[in-house]
Structure 1
Amino acid sequence: MLHDSKAFSGFSVDDVPRAKEFYTTTLGLDVGEEHGMLQLRTGSGNTVLVYPKDNHVPAEYTVLNFPVADIEAVARELTTLGVTFEKYNDDQDELGIYRGQGPLIAWFKDPAGNVLSIIQDSGTGS
């Protein structure tokens, strides 16, 4: 589903095996593991590093963005896979998609509490 997305970033987690399960099974990414760290391989050819950190504190900002062609369809699919979208303001619809100023976007968290997003981008193939 998000395999071809042009994701970007690198960030820490508190539990690498749990993160690997989430990124592989829930998000459908190609995930490698080496030296105790994960490499998230995205459709853009980028590799996003996910590394363990004993005193990990979840990022309070978006650390990883997944551009998608149909945000509503992806939000529904992720919801069926157990993803819960964050509700930050009243400009978000029932799916959690922000419909205020700027692009359509919906935020969710990985198992370590880091904020991720799906963001509408009509130029993607996902």
Structure 2
Amino acid sequence: MFGRTKAFSGFSVNDLGEARRFYGDTLGLQVEETGEGDMRMLTLTLGSGARVFVYPKDDHAPAGFTILNFPVDDIDAAVTELERRGVTFERYPGFEADDKGVVRDERGPAIAWFTDPAGNVLSVLQER
């Protein structure tokens, strides 16, 4: 039924201006802001061309799961660059991370998690 629709995903943030700066300046995504007043929103365009809708929510609660994954060819270089841009990597119980915050488990991709200013979880990962 929806196999040919141009579906998109979305998530909330508590501060649209901070989100615009983080996703545009820190992560380097194409960010478009539309609307006025309480009806402002962001559209992120990912490298694949997919678009993600970001909207402000007064009672925003950060997602307790990874909302966006960014595959890279070199996770160490990506983590180093993100740290240079002010990103701090998360460490979660049950996942053994190296000194850079990268989990390198032979069962899956090398992955490092970080959050946006609203506390939503993102990851950078490198397939084996």
Q: TM range, normalised to the smaller chain?
A: 0.7 to 0.9
Kindly tell me the number of residue pairs found equivalent between the two proteins: 115
Question: Scaled by the length of structure 2, what TM-score is found?
Answer: 0.85
Aligned residue in 2 for 1:33:
33
Aligned residue in 1 for 2:101:
96
Identity, % of aligned positions: 57
Structure 2 regions of 5+ residues with no counterpart? 1-7
Q: Within 5 Å, which residues of 2 pair with 1:11-22?
A: 11-22=11-22
Q: Within 5 Å, which residues of 2 pair with 1:66-77?
A: 66-77=70-81
Aligned residue in 2 for 1:50:
54
Aligned-partner residue type, residue 106 of structure 1: A
Aligned-partner residue type, residue 70 of structure 1: D
Higher relative contact order (CA 8 A, sep 6+): 1
Deviation at 1:108, TM superposition (A): 0.1
Aligned-partner residue type, residue 29 of structure 2: L
Deviation at 1:91, TM superposition (A): 1.6
The range that moved more, 85-94 or 18-27, is 85-94
CA-based RMSD: 1.4
Looking at structure 2, the residues matched to 66 and 38 of structure 1 have their Cα atoms a distance apart, in angstroms, of 19
Aligned residue in 1 for 2:120:
114
Question: Scaled by the length of structure 1, what TM-score is found?
Answer: 0.86
Structure 1 regions of 5+ residues with no counterpart? 1-7
Larger radius of gyration: 2
* Cα deviations by residue, 1:22-46 (Å, 9 ceiling, x for unpaired): 1111111110011211111111010
Looking at structure 2, the residues matched to 121 and 67 of structure 1 have their Cα atoms a distance apart, in angstroms, of 7
Q: Which runs of 4+ in 1 moved over 4 A?
A: none
